[in-house]
């Protein structure tokens, strides 16, 4: 009897204490929320902090990649061509990796990449990224509107139409 009373009291205490904590559902956390924190999760290749909030008013294609990820590297020419095709459509293309700035700069020099490569300093799992490449799309208001997992043919007519028409 005493044991049942102890368990009941413990359950009541736990249920009341949990109700007082306001939690944001994990599914409602988006990249712009994470970036709004005081310390930026991104840097340019000189180590200066940058934020996605700096690009509000533009459509953002944020592609997560790695130098060791063959599919990521293979889709870069397609991303460059798409960037050129969408230059009139208020786009910014950002390619983020969690590798060191030195590694990114070496890659950029050897591969002659014209894309805007940046460094992500957070944990990819924080953004629910468990495989690369992963691409997040944001509208001009900074709202995440699309996630594309895996390799894409970025400059295909179908994809360009899709990118021109998302809100």
Cis bond upstream, residue 133 (ω within 30): yes
Give me the residue spans of the domains in the chain: 25-165
pLDDT in tens, 84-96: 999 999 999 999 9
Burial class of residue 98 in the structure, from the number of CB atoms within 10 Å of its CB (0-12 exposed, 13-18 middle, 19+ buried): middle
Per-residue pLDDT of the chain (167 residues; tens, 9 = 90+): 555 444 444 333 333 333 332 323 323 334 444 433 335 799 999 999 999 999 989 999 999 999 999 999 999 999 999 999 999 999 999 999 999 999 999 999 999 888 999 999 999 999 999 999 999 999 999 999 999 999 999 999 999 999 998 76
Contact criterion met (CB below 8 Å) for 136 and 31? yes
- pTM (two decimals): 0.75
Pick the CATH number of 25-165 from 3.40.30.10, 1.10.10.10, 3.40.190.10, 3.20.20.110: 3.40.30.10
CA 33 from centre of chain: 11
pLDDT in tens, 33-54: 443 333 579 999 999 999 999 9
């Amino acid at each position: 009897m005493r044991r049942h009373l102890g368990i009941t009291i413990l359950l009541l205490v736990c249920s009341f204490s949990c109700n007082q904590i306001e939690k944001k559902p994990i599914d409602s956390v988006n990249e712009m929320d994470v970036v709004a924190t005081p310390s930026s999760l991104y840097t340019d290749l000189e180590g200066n902090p940058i934020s996605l909030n700096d690009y509000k008013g533009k459509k953002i294609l944020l592609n997560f990649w790695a130098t060791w990820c063959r599919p990521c590297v293979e889709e870069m020419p397609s991303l460059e061509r798409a960037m050129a095709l969408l230059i009139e459509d208020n786009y910014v293309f950002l390619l983020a990796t969690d590798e060191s700035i030195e590694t990114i700069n070496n890659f950029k020099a050897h591969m002659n990449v014209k894309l805007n490569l940046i460094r992500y300093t957070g944990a990819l799992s924080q953004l629910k990224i468990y495989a690369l490449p992963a691409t997040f799309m944001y509208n001009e208001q900074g709202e995440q509107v699309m996630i594309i997992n895996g390799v894409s043919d970025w400059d295909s007519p179908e994809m360009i139409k899709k990118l021109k028409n998302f809100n």
